[in-house]
A and B are shown apart, each in its own frame.
Chain A
Amino acid sequence: MPPTASHGNRPPDSPRDLPEVIEQERLPAGLEKLPEPLVEHSQRERLLNSMARSCAKKGYGATTIADVCEGAGVSRATFYDLFKDKEDCFHAAMELSLADAMGRIVAVYSPDKPWATMVRDAAAAFLELLASRPTFARMALVEAASSGDRAFELYASGKRVLQSLLERGRDDPVEEVAIPSSAGRAAISAAESLIVGQILAGNSARLPELLPDIVYIATVPYLGQEEALRCSREAEKTIPRVDG
Chain B
Amino acid sequence: MPQAGGGKRERWRPPRGRHRLPPEVIARSQRERLLEAAVRVVAAKGYGATTVTDLTREAGISRTTFYELFEDKEACFLAAYDGAVDALVRRVAAAYETEEGWPRRARAGLAALLEALAAEPEVARLALVDVGAAGPAAQRRYRAALQRLTPFFDEGRDFAPGGRNLPANTSRMAIGAVAGLISDELAEERAEDLPSLLSEVLFATLVPYIGPEAAAREAGEASR
Binding site for B on A (CB under 8 A): 1-5, 7-9, 58-59, 61-62, 142, 145-146, 173-174, 177-180, 182-183, 185-194, 196-197, 200, 210, 212-214, 216-217, 220-222, 224-225, 229, 232
Number of A-B contacts (CB under 8 A): 149
Known: A190-B174, A193-B173. Contact between A178 and B184, CB under 8 A?
Answer: no
Most buried by B among A61, A197, A212, A217: A217
Evaluate contact between A59 and B196: CB separation under 8 angstroms.
no
Can you list 22 pairs linking A and B with CB atoms under 8 Å apart? A2-B203, A2-B219, A2-B223, A9-B188, A61-B48, A61-B135, A177-B212, A179-B212, A182-B204, A186-B177, A186-B181, A186-B200, A190-B177, A191-B173, A193-B175, A194-B172, A196-B143, A197-B172, A213-B167, A217-B174, A220-B211, A221-B203
Contact of B180 among A174, A185, A212, A213 (CB under 8 A): A185
A2, closest chain B residue (CB): B199
Evaluate contact between B213 and A224: CB separation under 8 angstroms.
yes
A221 CA / B214 CA spacing, docked (Å): 11
Evaluate contact between A193 and B212: CB separation under 8 angstroms.
no
Evaluate contact between A225 and B162: CB separation under 8 angstroms.
yes
Report how many residues on chain B are interfacial, defined by Cβ distance under 8 Å: 51
Evaluate contact between B207 and A221: CB separation under 8 angstroms.
yes
* B175-208 residues at the A interface, CB under 8 angstroms: 175-181, 183-185, 187-188, 190, 193, 196-197, 199-200, 203-204, 207-208
Contact of A173 among B170, B175, B199, B212 (CB under 8 A): B212
Residues of A within 8 A of B146 (CB): 193
Evaluate contact between B167 and A180: CB separation under 8 angstroms.
no
Nearest chain A CB to B65's CB is how many angstroms away? 26
Evaluate contact between A179 and B216: CB separation under 8 angstroms.
yes
* B71-94 residues at the A interface, CB under 8 angstroms: none
A216, closest chain B residue (CB): B167
A218, closest chain B residue (CB): B173
* B140-167 residues at the A interface, CB under 8 angstroms: 140, 143, 146, 162, 165-167
Evaluate contact between A59 and B167: CB separation under 8 angstroms.
no
Evaluate contact between B216 and A194: CB separation under 8 angstroms.
no
Evaluate contact between A5 and B185: CB separation under 8 angstroms.
yes
